[in-house]
Amino acid sequence: MSTEPKKTEPQSGEDRVIHEVDGIQEYDNQLPNWWLATLFITVVFGVGYFYVYHQAQLTDLPNAAFQKESERQAAEEAKRTGVVTSAALLSLSRDGTKVSEGKATFESTCAACHRADGGGNIGPNLTDGFWLHGGSPENIYTTISKGVADKGMAAWGPQLGSDRVQAVTAYILTLRGTNVAGGKAPQGTAEN
Ligand code: HEC
């Protein structure tokens, strides 16, 4: 059995640069390959992640994806139970087909009073952030369904049916805050 103390320094260190600072010596050792591989994979992943989520925006960030999925489920729930929620209406406002259905109804039925672009005429401007009866999706749906009888806004629910009122609400949600040129002066409370 050898009684030699264990050597902690490499036997042949001539090809390695030794740094010495305050008496502490350090060899310029090669980083292990597994370590370098991990570093490079991380860098490539980071660049890829940035490109996919932020640059090209090929897909939704997790929060947005979660919100969309919740709204989609709320929309399904609304269909099943007949209860119309804000989340369900927001989901419809992202559905191009529904929105164009709503736009068609708006142009044929509502434009006379609210102007074709929603800028307002007899009825209020629907493109500003001000609302007389609330600017949440549910509020807008309720106002359209039930109307404001004493102010000249009919109850459209019975005439159009819930589906078409939902579609026209979805369309109005896409107008919110677009502030079209030459629109009617704001009425009501600032909301969004
Ligand atoms: C005959 C005119 C007229 C028509 C047609 C009409 N509206 Fe209105 N609308 C009004 C008036 C007037 C008001 C404001 C009521 C008030 O002063 O409380 C109003 C209010 C609204 C509001 C609430 C705005 C707010 O600030 O809270 C919404 C939303 C709306 N209308 C949507 C529609 C939709 C959708 C249609 C078509 C299906 C429609 N309106 C058709 C006259 C009309």
**Pocket of ligand 1 contains residue 188 by CB under 6 Å:** yes
**Pocket of ligand 1 contains residue 139 by CB under 6 Å:** no
DSSP assignment letter at 148:
B
Helix or strand or coil: residue 145? helix
Contact 127, 176 (CB under 8 A): yes
Q: What are the average pLDDT values for consecutive 10-residue runs of the chain, which has 192 residues? A: 51 66 85 95 97 91 89 82 87 93 96 95 94 94 94 93 94 93 92 74
Q: Domain boundaries in the chain?
A: 18-55, 82-190
82-190 belongs to which homologous superfamily?
Cytochrome c-like domain (1.10.760.10)
Which atom of ligand 1 lies closest to the CA of 134?
A: 27
- CA-closest candidate to residue 173, choices 131, 142, 140, 143: 140
**Pocket of ligand 1 contains residue 148 by CB under 6 Å:** yes
- Tokens, residue 112: 């006379």
